[in-house]
Structures are given as structure tokens and as C-alpha cells.
Amino acid sequence: MITTRTIRKKNTLRSYQAVIEPFCREFGERTIGKVTPDEILSFLNRLTDGNRPYTKRVRYSQLSCYFNFIRNNIEPESVNPCDTPMIRKLYRQKVESKWEIIEKETIDEIIFRTTKNRNRLLLELMARGGMRVGEVLKLRLKDLQDQKLIIQSPKSGKEREIVFIPQKVADRLRDYAYQACKKPEDRIFPISYEAARMVVLKAGKLVGIHLRPHDLRRHSATYASRSGVPIEIVSKVILRHSTLSMTQRYLGTINDVEAIRWIDNIYA
């Protein structure tokens, strides 16, 4: 049986082949230890010419992993030619994204001004439940368990995950799902990702902002964190991240005015 994990593994192999096969064609006749950092840099520059920075970092990481594998399993005395300050700086430097916080009042206005029931539920599941847009679109009637939603074959690679949503949202989602679905296997929102993205974009325009689906998921985590929810709960329950560090990158930065407001709220 072909599973999500099997597909992911095959995709990973194809991705590594994109760098390992060209490397072997160019340097296959030479001893690994004789390949210099300058040659590696030249090879990576040619291989990733025209690619996005993210793709360049991935190719560098894959080639570096290849050398580490050889050192750990075949030639313990070999040196990883990717592991030099210059190459690391060129291919591993990453500017941390700083996400703009969308205030709860703005999200509330966006949701309340969205009159179509289907579209409002899409927005609320991302903004109130922290769901990814792809997870929302995969929801089926049989995945509803009152305030618990079952996510089948999630991004984490697990068999399933659970999302918790507010009772009011759960009640309206159940009523809508029973009207929209005829069988337990039916999708509740049988639309494409692009259609869902346009729903979010148009909703943002109602209040004059450029809104993306992931902004809503990020808002759910940021608002929960600012409301005093422990970061462990934000990470493991709302966002369902594997590590706290990943969650911390999600949480938006705050300016001085916002910081003062939160301090005043704490000690009011």
C-alpha cells in the first residue's frame, strides 16, 4: 500500500538525486578527500544558478549531508569540504522573517463582515483553530467530533492529529456540514486551494489589508500567547509543532506600544 510516508520518502530521494547525481558525474573519478572547498563552491554556484535562495540552501544542505554520511559510515578520516566558514555563510545564512501582528479586533471584523457561511467558517477554522488551509479543505463529515476535529495524514507525517475549536464554531460547522455533505466521506469544503486563498484575500480587502491563509493560523498562535496561554499549549495543541523553537518563530514581534499595553493589562 502506498502511504503518505512512502510518497514523502520517494520525493526526498528524488530531491537528493538532483544534487548527488550531478556531483558524481563531475567528481566520480576522484577521491572524496581530494575535492576542495573551492571546487564545491564552484559546483554549487553552477548547479543552483537561477534558483531561489531557499533552493540553494537545500542543495547545499543535501550535499553536506552526503559528505557527512561518507565520513560517518565509510571514510572516518575524510573532511566535509562544505563545512567551511565561507560556504556556510553563502548557503546557510537565513534572514529571520518578522511577522506583522494582526490584532484580534481586525480579525473579528474580517470574520463578522464575511456574510457567506462557508467562507466565514473557513476563516474561523484557521483563525480560531490554528488550522492550515490544506487541513481545512481536507475535512470530511466523519472527521467532526463536536469541538474536536480529526486531521487525517497531517503534515507532521503522523497518522492523524486533533484540532480543538470553540463550541460556537463547532456548532455552526456541524450544522453546515450536515447540509453540505451526504455521506461521511464527503469533504465539507470541496473547493480548491486557490479558491480558498481568494476567499481569504477578499476578506482581508474588507478592512484594507493583504491577508493570506497562514496569517490567520499565525494569528491564532500569537493571540493565544499574548493572552497568557503557555507556549507549550500553543505549540503542541494549537499549532501542533514538533518543537518549541518552530513555534517561537511563528509568534509575531511586538512594538513598544503593544508591550506597554500588555504590561498594563497584567498589573491592572
Domains defined along the chain, listed by start: 4-92 (no CATH), 104-266 (1.10.443.10)
Between residues 27 and 183, which one has the greater pLDDT? Answer: 183
Average pLDDT for 198-221: 94
pLDDT, tens only, 86-126: 888 787 655 555 567 788 999 999 999 999 999 999 999 99
Contacts of 241 (CB under 8 A, 6+ apart): 235, 247, 250
Per the CB < 8 A criterion, the answer to whether 126 and 91 are in contact is no
- For 136-189, what is each residue's pLDDT tens digit? 999 999 999 999 999 998 877 788 899 999 999 999 999 999 999 999 999 999
pLDDT at 257: 63
The DSSP symbol for 43 reads: H
Q: Are 223 and 104 in contact (CB under 8 A)?
A: yes
What's the farthest any 2 CA atoms get from each other in the chain? Answer: 72
Rg of the Cα trace of the chain?
23
Q: How far, CA to CA in Å, does 110 sit from each of 122, 141, 171, 173?
A: 12, 26, 20, 18
- Indicate the pLDDT class of residue 73, thresholds 50, 70 and 90: confident
**38 Cβ neighbours under 8 A, 6+ residues apart:** none
The answer to whether residues 136 and 125 touch, using CB atoms and an 8 Å cutoff, is yes
Q: Is the pTM of this model over 0.75?
A: no
Question: Which cell is 153 given?
Answer: 495524514
Answer whether 174's CB lies under 8 Å from 125's CB. no
Q: For residues 6 and 160, which has the higher predicted lDDT (pLDDT)?
A: 160
CA torsion 112-118-123-126 (nearest 10°) is 140
Q: Which of 128, 159, 154, 119 is nearest to 139 (CA)?
A: 154
Grade residue 55 by pLDDT with cuts at 50, 70 and 90: confident
